[in-house]
A and B are shown apart, each in its own frame.
Chain A
Amino acid sequence: METRATRVTLSVWALGVVLFLWLPLVLICVYAFNSSNIQSWPIAGFSTKWFTAVWHNQDARDALVLSLKAAGVATFIAVLLGTAAAAVVSRFAFFGRDAITFLLVLPIALPGVVTGIALNSFFSNNPVHHISPSLWTIVIGHATFCIVIVYNNVVARMRRTQTSLTEASMDLGADGWQTFRFVTLPVISTALVAGALLAFALSLDEVIVTTFTAGAQNTLPIWILGNLRTGQQLPQVNVMVFFVIVMTVIPVAIAARLTRDTGILRRR
């Protein structure tokens, strides 16, 4: 129904939006190879010396290791809990089912700073036990908003598969675990992996909630933020940022391929 003029205008608009989305990302990657430590455009020259500098920067390495640990553990918890919730919500109809979905979405539907301060005051002011910042406080924060990512992916896949598969398996004498291992798991595996990759990418990059749960510890995003605030080590920040972009884009690209059928890759 669109006229030719409309189509041309819209395609120009689409091209503009793609450029708007991508040019800043390309630009920041170019800065990683800046030979000068002055951040102006165009860059002074091509160099990989800051990559070497970051490699030998102990603080940056520690921050990266902490981030990988936190993301790994948080993803593991999110996969277990998210899959369990998805199995129930997709297979049972009961009172309060919508409330469960709502509860899982809440940590990412509410402003990040609210989640952050809630966890912070919970750790330090709960009536039972004062919890000092550690890897585990970071993990608790991350897992809480990663559960919904896994949940969304798995629930979409489970809704599309028929219950007759599991019924047949049970009829043929398999027990509950065998049915899960040999029937359900193969069906949901790609959605599960995609959800896990996205949860990992989200955890690796999260900073708003993390600042409230990490105490004096540095995750990679907190290390980057600290340097951006003080304006120190900016050439090394460029390299780290380049690295983080690559590290988050790869799992998301894989996840996008794995869930082409369900197409549920929205962050929230």
Chain B
Amino acid sequence: MTSQAYDAARPRSGARRRLSAALWRRPWLRAVVLLLPPLGWMLVFYLAALAVLFVSAFWSIDSFTGKLTHTFTWANFHQIVSDPTYRQIAWRTIWMAAAVTATDAVIAFPFAYYMARIAGPRQRTLLFVLVLLPLWSSYLARIYAWRLILNHDGALNWTLGKLGLPTQGWAFTNTAIWIVFSYIWLPFMILPIYAALERIPDSFLEASQDLGARNWTTFRRVIVPLALPGIVAGSIFTFSLTLGDYITPSLVGNVDFIGNVIYRNVLGLTNNLPFAAAYATIPLAVMAIYLVAAKRLGAFEAL
């Protein structure tokens, strides 16, 4: 220790010291003092916000003045259930989330398997960083890149043309939305599956083979069950992120998703916050069910 650090670390007398000693003798007091700021922040700004949102779902908008009416009504929920347009948008969003989740799981599993069980340590680190950087790099940039790729005169059609293949016209279709969602959320699926696969001890596989299982049986009865929590953990992200995203559909597609309806009712011309709040309970409820199911499958330990 340098002398400067020693001076700073020398015991001192006074109030600070007594306070410090009091805190050290009472661990619970230390815990409370430390926990209060983060917990207070989350309660005031987040849980309170969610509570206001939930309550406002039962309010309404006065059709003449456009002002909020703070009286209890089921009207918003009634409209969501009875209007086929809103039902269709909700189903479309949930289907898309499921399709994207399935696609990412299929793409990610072999890759994660390669990372965890075949690649050497150096290559594994490299692949890890190569997955991580796109995950963190600009979200808008990645959507925009696909808009340029899928455009009629974009890179994909140019490549297809060079190869003598027929060109595609996916720009601004549901196919484009599906491709872009699968692309931007893929790293979220790869990393938890990789973590789950990496944790499987070699001895498990040796035991399985010693007991006479063929490769395929070992894969199906040992590796897949142990990787399942990782797949479920990844699917929480791909599913939740797709449910809550309104920007991708608006930039590369031409149909509404749940988020677009909410956005329009809060910030757009419609200006009906209670209805938006009521509609937001759909993704909220879907995720609540999903999280409970995921917890049962042991996905939280794999997060």
- A contact residues vs B (CB 8 Å cutoff): 1-3, 7, 10-11, 13-14, 17-18, 20-22, 24-25, 27-28, 31, 39-42, 77, 80-82, 84-85, 87-88, 91-92, 94, 100, 103-107, 109-115, 117-122, 124-126, 140, 143-144, 147, 151, 170, 173-178, 181-182, 198, 201-202, 205-208, 211-212, 221, 224-225, 228-229, 237, 241-242, 244-245, 248-249, 252-253, 256, 260, 263, 265-268
Contacts and interface: CB of A to CB of B under 8 A. Distances in A.
B49 A42 contact: no
A17 B147 CA distance: 19
Contacts of A103: 39, 42, 46-47
B102 interface: no
Contacts of B134: 21-22, 25
A28 B49 contact: no
Interface string B129-151: 11111111111111011111101
B37 A84 contact: yes
Interface of B is mostly: helix
A11 B35 contact: no
B188 A107 contact: no
B240 interface: yes
B115 interface: yes
Interface string B84-125: 000000000000000000000001101101110111000001
Contacts of B232: none
B253 to A, nearest CB: 13
B297 interface: no
B192 to A, nearest CB: 7
A128 to B, nearest CB: 10
A212 B277 CA distance: 13
Given A18-B127, A87-B34, 12 more contacts: A3-B215, A14-B119, A100-B35, A111-B259, A120-B266, A121-B49, A121-B277, A125-B56, A174-B9, A175-B17, A228-B140, A228-B147
Interface string B194-234: 00000000000100010000010010000000000000000
Contacts of A77: 41
Contacts of B129: 253, 256
B125 to A, nearest CB: 8
A21 B130 contact: yes
Nearest to B52: A122
Interface in B220-265: 236-237, 240-241, 243-247, 250-251, 258-259, 262-263
B50 interface: yes
Contacts of B280: 113-114, 117-118
Contact of A114 (B31, B38, B250, B283): B283
Given A24-B145, A177-B16, A266-B191, A121 B273 contact: yes
A112 B245 contact: yes
A37 to B, nearest CB: 13
A94 B34 CA distance: 14
B164 interface: no
A140 B49 CA distance: 11
A90 to B, nearest CB: 11
A237 B52 CA distance: 37
A205 B148 CA distance: 20
Nearest to A244: B138
A105 B49 CA distance: 16
B31 A110 contact: no
Nearest to B283: A111
